[in-house]
A = this chain, B = another copy of it.
Amino acid sequence: MSSITWNDICAARERIAGYAHRTPTLSSTAINGMAGATVVFKCENFQKTGSFKFRGAFNTVASLTPEERAHGVYAHSSGNHAQALALAAQLHGIPAYIVMPEDSNPAKVSATEGYGARVISCPPTHRGRHETAARIGEETGAAFVHPHNEPRVIAGQGTAVCELIEDAGNFDVILTPVGGGGLLSGTSIATATLLPNTRVIGCEPAGADDAFRSIRDGRLVTDFTPETIADGLRTPLGDNTFAILREHVDRIVLVSEQEIVHAMRTVWERMKIVIEPSSAVAVAPLLRGEFAERGLRIGVVLSGGNADLEGFFSALSPQAAA
């Protein structure tokens, strides 16, 4: 594996400066009360393309050599990495080819196309994705940008927690969701340097508990069928992220689907911000009192805000048309 260091994260910060938003931190007295602790949220739902993924994608594209960039970049992604890589490529003036499963959220597909990418549809299976992506790579000669196992992606994702710590100070615990593990890996490497006594904990849907089982059993679980509303967390870890999590992460906590929906609703209602289900996964443990300890300071990376609003607004339309 490629080892990723604090220096890689510092270099990523310089590359993304002026391109990625420095997103705000928010707090909520109501949620502090429910959590029984002091919680600071890093709002990557306000990041460009609506999620933290822009950090890693931009850092990777910015790190490519002119020769590597010449034929553009490609990736497979169910959503947020797709949009992020599309915009990163557009800002560098190079083509992006994005392989997306047929059952992807239509809003995410059209957003990806809106950033100038060419979207290639594929069967909604692990194998379908990989075969289609391989073909696109051969046809175009583009550079592959893995959504979470790519070291430059991981370094980019590590920049969010640096800003959180700069803006809000010390933490006892830092929580992020874990899907492919890019955000959690980058966060854990940065925190190990900035706040070596802080526990970094990954939050995962019980219906896609591959990271939990991988860490518990000491071997990478990739063969599973995710069943979760948190569409950003259905992918397995990669070998790089698995190795980093084993070294730097305190533990993985699991949450139920009901807890995810409850957490999402609580954030929408109390904080008046839109987060997607994957983000709510890192809020859910707080609401069941998992970290209810007076004086405990907890940082949470709200990973994205690309929730599918179609159902809600199509239900409103007949009323609006009345």
Contacts and interface: CB of A to CB of B under 8 A. Distances in A.
B312 A261 contact: no
B320 A315 contact: no
Contacts of A258: 317, 320-321
17 contacts: A45-B272, A46-B272, A107-B269, A229-B320, A257-B319, A257-B320, A260-B320, A261-B316, A261-B317, A268-B274, A269-B274, A272-B274, A272-B275, A272-B305, A311-B315, A312-B312, A312-B315
**Quick one: copies of this chain in the complex?**
2
Contacts of A260: 320
Interface of A: 24, 45-46, 50, 107, 227, 229, 257-258, 260-261, 264-265, 268-269, 272-275, 305, 309, 311-313, 315-317, 319-322
A320 B274 contact: no
Contacts of A268: 274, 309
A107 B45 CA distance: 25
Main secondary structure of the interface of A (DSSP, over half): helix
Most central of A229, A269, A272, A275 by chain B CB within 10 Å: A272
